[in-house]
Amino acid sequence: MPNWFNADGRVAEVVVDDRGLQYGDGLFETIAIRNGAPRLWDKHMARLRRGCDVIGIEMPPEPELLEGVLRAVEVSNVTAAYAVAKIILTAGTGLRGYGRVTATSPSVLFGAFVANPVAVKLYREGAEVALCETRLASSSALAGIKTLNRLEQVLARSEIIGSKAFEGLTMDADNNIICGTMSNVFFVQKNVLSTAALERCGVAGVMRGHVIESLSEQGIETQLRHTTSTELSEVDEIFLCNSQFGLIPVRHCGEQQWPVGELTRTAMAALAENGIRECRL
Amino acid sequence: MPNWFNADGRVAEVVVDDRGLQYGDGLFETIAIRNGAPRLWDKHMARLRRGCDVIGIEMPPEPELLEGVLRAVEVSNVTAAYAVAKIILTAGTGLRGYGRVTATSPSVLFGAFVANPVAVKLYREGAEVALCETRLASSSALAGIKTLNRLEQVLARSEIIGSKAFEGLTMDADNNIICGTMSNVFFVQKNVLSTAALERCGVAGVMRGHVIESLSEQGIETQLRHTTSTELSEVDEIFLCNSQFGLIPVRHCGEQQWPVGELTRTAMAALAENGIRECRL
């Protein structure tokens, strides 16, 4: 069954010359579809636009992207009530060689897939995570944005295949915990909530922004600062978030163990009220 | 005119699901074809094999890769006397999501293109280079190998489009000069030859290895150490190398200027004797 489409709903093809394949010269967004509509659409578009600014791609009009996503969901055989859509935006085809001017004819590809809900038990009791050996390179010009250069995440995620871990946490060379392989990480220590600033590496997830905003509306601010792996033993609560599953508490990491704490529950409730139904316990 | 082929010489296609496009989950080699044969083939294969080990792809048999390259050159309309071939090796298609086991069915694509020789004047008088603003991220798990994650090089190379510079030099966050965007850089200071070690970032070019070996055979050793941008003023000679052009002296970088020095000439002569004809002046 085809899963990738062009803006007009035809089955998508990509040529080998596409700079997305040649150099990872592009961006993507993975968007939760709930009840027929993309969730956190504005935040996905804001991040895509930031990415376009950084790597020099002319952002297609948002209504066209929205139409493409909805059409992909429609023409693929997935349930629009609960699905996942992906937009890939590459710098298109062009001359061989790294250099280019701003890409004004990007390749735009839309994918729609079956979404696999995470077990309710994990929301209630928390998930196990593992520290990955693969480190994230620091001081990246691409920090924060979601490019097609994702080999670090591939290597890190591949480490936990076959293990009990729901997610792997990735560090930079200084043992700062930056991200999960497919999520962002929040820490609570002495009632202070924090997450990595991501100014040097990592991906700034849209759900991370949604968590920060949703809690800020309740008067709870998130500090942007690093937590190292050795500081894990001093942390009172940890949780993960991403655009698909919303927020999931962390229960275990190696020998460390945490309860589902009060601030984590507050964050879940705030998200549940702010459109992330999975977090309603 | 088609430029990309499968191993059997049919025009190559790639599906959107290919992990090479989705995540840059793959490797490539750009190989000079001279008089019908790939140049420095063994070194290209050694780097590809190193890359396969690092990112977990089963390396196809070298004879098949060689056959694919030669067939691509043959069936495309390029001159086998002087051309450039490219092998792209991706982790293939597979499940969505970053994690995977070792890729045993990689996608293998062969490209053949017209080679554009660099003007003889640059070999004789040296080229202008510029320092790029784009920094390379450090402590990369992918340091040294040639993956499809090349957005940093895209951004850096794009900086010099429209300028007089033949090449852009990229630094890490500590102002260490690591590589050119498509070349490696050697420095001579007080008769000591050095190049960046590339243990934290950068691509270890096959011509870099060939330069080190060719000079070592003449009793000239290359130190692997960093040179910062501020040390440029103390440097006596600089040269660039890559698999296509061989070795080109650097004449200018900003306000700095260098002659084509003695060790640079020795290196060119050593390469010229070691199969890199462009370096015969």
Task: Give the chain A residue nearest B109 (alpha carbons).
Answer: A16
Cβ contact, residue pair B151, A55, below 8 Å: yes
Given its phi and psi angles, is residue A78 left (phi above 0), alpha (psi -120 to 50 degrees) or beta? Answer: beta
Enter the DSSP assignment of B79.
-
CA distance B20 to A148: 9
pLDDT of residue B77: 82
* Range A269-280 average pLDDT: 96
Average pLDDT, chain A: 96
- Probe site for chain B from A31, A98, A160 (most B CB atoms < 10 A): A98
CA distance A19 to A7: 19
- Probe site for chain A from B78, B151, B157, B183 (most A CB atoms < 10 A): B151
Give the gap in angstroms from C-alpha A219 to the nearest C-alpha of chain B. 35
Instruction: State the pLDDT confidence band at A1, using cuts at 50, 70 and 90.
Output: low
Kindly tell me if the per-residue pLDDT of B221 is higher than 90.
yes
CA distance B34 to A6: 40
Give the gap in angstroms from C-alpha B220 to the nearest C-alpha of chain A. 33
Cβ contact, residue pair B182, A97, below 8 Å: yes
Give the gap in angstroms from C-alpha B216 to the nearest C-alpha of chain A. 31
- State the ipTM, two decimals: 0.96
Chain B positions in Cβ-Cβ contact with residue A138 (cut-off 8 Å): 137-139, 173
pTM of the model: 0.96
CA distance A154 to A167: 12
Higher pLDDT, B116 or B222: B222
Report B:34-93 residues touching A (Cβ under 8 A). 55-56, 88, 90-91
Q: Using CB atoms, which residue from B4, B156, B161 is nearest to A17?
A: B4
pLDDT of residue B281: 82
Residue range A123-144, pLDDT digits in tens? 999 999 999 999 999 988 899 9
pLDDT of residue A199: 92
* Range B228-235 average pLDDT: 96
Is the CB of residue A135 less than 8 Å away from at least one CB of chain B?
A: yes
Share of chain B above pLDDT 90, in %: 93
Cβ contact, residue pair B21, A111, below 8 Å: no
Kindly tell me if the per-residue pLDDT of A2 is higher than 80.
no
Selection from B78, B86, B94 nearest residue B12 by Cα:
B86
Give the gap in angstroms from C-alpha B172 to the nearest C-alpha of chain A. 8
SS3 (DSSP) at A241: strand
* Range B126-142 average pLDDT: 95
Residue range A17-69, pLDDT digits in tens? 999 999 999 999 999 999 999 999 999 999 999 999 999 999 999 999 999 99
Report B:7-26 residues touching A (Cβ under 8 A). 12-25
Kindly tell me if the per-residue pLDDT of B183 is higher than 70.
yes
Average pLDDT, chain B: 96
Residue range B143-178, pLDDT digits in tens? 999 999 999 999 999 999 999 999 999 999 999 999
Kindly tell me if the per-residue pLDDT of B2 is higher than 80.
no
Check if the beta carbon of residue A248 is closer than 8 Å to that of residue A123. yes
Kindly tell me if the per-residue pLDDT of B37 is higher than 90.
yes
Give the gap in angstroms from C-alpha A21 to the nearest C-alpha of chain B. 4
Share of chain A above pLDDT 90, in %: 93
CA distance A188 to A168: 19
* Range A235-262 average pLDDT: 97
